[in-house]
Structure 1
């Protein structure tokens, strides 16, 4: 018996519950990119870490720079209460998206994180935007 099978796999029902819960909390770069490409962006994408200069150099197209430390009820009031927010940070070594998601959830806002963040976006070879405005699409290294 290998280490893989030493602990039996969960039942199908437990797996369904687990993965449904997981997918209710996170999305990935490919799914975000597909929504952007097809114009089906039914969420607000938040770049939640870094300085304005770092955001201007490189961010996911359509993302708004709102550092997690600046998330507040007052800042979020510009969006309807049922707006889904997708938070991302630098990548697997960063917990900024988790911090943002926790703040948003505490404010009663629907939220998911984009796993992989900037690092995942780059790994997928997806185009970045640059400039101070969300969505200034331009291929950036």
Structure 2
């Protein structure tokens, strides 16, 4: 018997996806859209008036004080089990966010709220991409807005139009 390492099979290149996987792909991408949204869509819904959801910032107090989305409810991840019932209406969907794409706090918050019976979505990009797309935040210095980062949002436009 040899001690040769068994190499794992590499995934097929994108163009080699089997036709049978199409239904699986449709289910996967439809599920992502049911459970995730992005900062541009959230901003558009908030600007329209009654968005039909409550935006939840799941970061700790220091992050909330530094900068948060105007109108968001502050509900740190650790407090969800004890405080969600007093802050959120179970009949109103929630959208969670945290720091950014390198953080899974919004995913954890959406899971915790789902386990309590709330309809939850995760806002991809978090407060980082909210700021990078040029949307306003509230913090210790009041409300501020930075110019949009041209690597994340089209200049001169309120939405990515994708």
TM-score (norm 1): 0.81
Distance 1:46 1:80 in 2: 12
Distance 1:64 1:127 in 2: 16
* Equivalence for 2:110: 101
Tell me which structure has the larger Cα radius of gyration.
Answer: 2
- In 2, are the aligned partners of 1:68 and 1:100 still within 8 Å (CA)? yes
- Report matched runs for 1:31-70 at 5 Å: 31-51=41-61, 53-70=62-79
* Equivalence for 2:85: 77
Distance 1:139 1:23 in 2: 30
Equivalenced residues, count: 132
Matched position secondary structure for 1:129:
strand
Q: Which runs of 4+ in 1 moved over 6 A?
A: none
Matched position secondary structure for 1:113:
strand
Higher RCO (C-alpha 8 Å, min separation 6): 1
Q: Residue 129 of structure 1: CA displacement?
A: 2.0
Q: Deviations over 1:70-126 (max 9, x none)?
A: 001x52223332221111000111111111111111111110110110111122121
Specify every segment of 5 or more residues in structure 1 that has no aligned partner in the other structure, as ranges.
none
* Equivalence for 1:139: 144
Specify every segment of 5 or more residues in structure 2 that has no aligned partner in the other structure, as ranges.
1-11, 147-162
- In 2, are the aligned partners of 1:46 and 1:88 still within 8 Å (CA)? yes
* Equivalence for 1:90: 99
**Residues 102 and 14 of structure 1: is their aligned pair in 2 closer, same or farther, counting only changes over 3 Å?**
same
**Residues 61 and 123 of structure 1: is their aligned pair in 2 closer, same or farther, counting only changes over 3 Å?**
same
